[in-house]
């Protein structure tokens, strides 16, 4: 369902939630990003009066709407469970010949499907800023350059301007960041799982790589965030995340991730905050900056691990006496 005005297009979509959309602890953040990217492309095609998201520049070169900034806010993903009904409302506007901005509001539908007027509870908001790009050399993801679509009109947007300002700031490291390790986390992307149909390292996989780095450095990260009293197997769920993209990689190139703790001023032990810097191994170019804030996730898997550890400790103490 789509609705169009002079400066934006509005699209909505509903989902019956099952295992493809879920992850440990609730709605999958990775699926959330992928679906927002998909809705962004569909809405952009509607904004340009195209039947499908097939973007071509004036020279006939195929273009993609690559993301510059992705921002997740107000996330309560743990509220989504199996058989939930989810609703996404998307609004997109073009802000220049090359850039487009979209905002996606996620609602959990509550109540009987047969009843009149189901209640909707907001569980996340995702904002995306994209730019048309094309490769100047086939097969080389480092040859990507900005493209433009002259067709249609565009309008200024304050939210998009703020995201571009974040994109600029993201090239430098925050003064409050505390290095977690002298050595980076190394990740070798898999072409079958991490790349998309446009042959790029998929924008949503940057989030997945940061989560792997977080888990790898978790003990040190928790200590710097003043959450060291938590179990080393503690689980954390995203409340806010901002990803700024600066490049991509070619096949068989690797990633290096430097992780920095960003503890809250009030030393809230329920929060885990960090900054991740993703570098391309081949030339050590910065390709992403990721700011993440997570909240402690009380989960049965962690409670079981704590119980087992307690039983082991009591057995060890008993054996010594």
Q: What is the pLDDT of residue 271?
A: 94
Could you give the residue range(s) of every CATH 3.10.129.10 domain in the chain? 1-159, 169-313
Confidence check: pLDDT of 300 > 80? yes
Is residue 224 within 8 Å of 263, Cβ to Cβ?
A: yes
Query: Quick one: tokens of 297?
Result: 């996730």
Confidence check: pLDDT of 308 > 90? no
CATH of range 1-159; options 3.10.129.10, 3.40.50.300, 2.40.50.140, 3.40.1350.10: 3.10.129.10
Residue-wise pLDDT tens digits, 179-191: 999 999 999 999 9
pLDDT-derived band at 230 (thresholds 50, 70, 90) equals: confident
Confidence check: pLDDT of 254 > 50? yes
Count Cα atoms within 13 angstroms, Cβ side, for 233: 11
pLDDT-derived band at 2 (thresholds 50, 70, 90) equals: very low
pLDDT-derived band at 116 (thresholds 50, 70, 90) equals: low
Residue-wise pLDDT tens digits, 35-53: 999 999 999 999 999 999 8
Would you give the DSSP letter of residue 237? Answer: E
Tell me the C-alpha to C-alpha distance, in Å, between residue 162 and each of 43, 59, 139, 232: 21, 31, 33, 37
Helix (H, G, I), strand (E, B) or coil at 217: coil
Q: What is the pLDDT of residue 113?
A: 54
Q: What is the pLDDT of residue 35?
A: 97
Whole-model pTM? 0.92
Mean pLDDT lowest for which of 35-39, 72-76, 139-143?
139-143
Burial classification of residue 172, based on how many CB atoms lie within 10 Å of its CB (0-12 exposed, 13-18 middle, 19 or more buried): exposed
d(CA 141, CA 133): 11
pLDDT-derived band at 6 (thresholds 50, 70, 90) equals: low
Q: What is the pLDDT of residue 314?
A: 64
* 247 vs 54 pLDDT, higher one: 247
Confidence check: pLDDT of 283 > 70? yes
d(CA 210, CA 311): 33
Helix (H, G, I), strand (E, B) or coil at 56: strand
Give me the count of residues in the chain: 321
Nearest C-alpha neighbor of 206 from the set 257, 133, 266: 257
Strand (E) positions, 111-147? 119-135, 144-146
Confidence check: pLDDT of 33 > 90? yes
Mean pLDDT, the chain, as a whole number?
91
Nearest C-alpha neighbor of 62 from the set 192, 256, 162, 199: 199
Looking at domain 169-313, which CATH architecture does it have?
Answer: Roll (3.10)
Would you give the DSSP letter of residue 184? Answer: P
Nearest C-alpha neighbor of 210 from the set 264, 281, 259: 259
Report how far Cα 221 is from the mean position of its chain's Cα atoms. Answer: 20
* 217 vs 315 pLDDT, higher one: 217
């Amino acid at each position: 369902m789509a609705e169009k005005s002079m400066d934006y297009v509005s699209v909505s979509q509903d989902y019956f939630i099952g295992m493809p959309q879920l992850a440990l602890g609730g709605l999958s953040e990775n699926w959330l990003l992928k679906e927002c990217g998909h809705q962004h492309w569909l809405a952009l095609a509607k904004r340009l009066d195209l039947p499908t998201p097939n973007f071509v520049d004036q020279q006939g070169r195929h273009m993609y709407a690559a993301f510059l900034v992705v921002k997740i806010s107000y996330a309560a993903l743990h509220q989504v469970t199996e058989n939930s009904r989810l609703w996404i409302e998307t609004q997109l506007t073009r802000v220049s010949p090359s850039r487009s901005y979209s905002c996606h509001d996620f609602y959990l539908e509550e109540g009987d499907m047969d009843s009149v007027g189901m209640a909707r509870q907001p569980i996340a908001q995702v904002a995306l800023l994209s730019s048309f790009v094309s490769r100047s050399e086939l097969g080389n993801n480092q040859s990507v350059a900005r493209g433009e679509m002259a067709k249609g009109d565009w309008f200024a947007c304050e939210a998009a301007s703020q995201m571009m300002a974040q994109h600029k700031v993201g090239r430098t490291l925050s003064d409050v960041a505390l290095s977690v390790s002298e050595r980076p986390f190394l990740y070798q992307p898999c072409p079958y799982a991490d790349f998309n149909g446009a042959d790029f390292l998929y924008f949503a996989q940057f989030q997945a790589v940061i989560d792997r780095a977080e888990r790898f450095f978790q003990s040190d990260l928790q200590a710097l965030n003043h959450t060291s009293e938590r179990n080393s197997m503690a689980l954390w769920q995203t409340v806010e995340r901002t990803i700024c993209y600066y490049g991509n990689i070619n096949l068989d190139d690797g990633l290096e991730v430097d992780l920095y703790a960003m503890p809250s001023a009030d030393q809230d032990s329920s929060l885990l905050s960090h900054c991740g810097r993703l570098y391309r191994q081949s030339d050590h170019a910065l390709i992403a900056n990721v700011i993440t804030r997570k909240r402690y996730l009380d989960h049965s898997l962690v409670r079981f691990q704590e119980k087992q550890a307690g039983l082991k400790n009591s057995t060890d103490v008993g054996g010594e006496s």
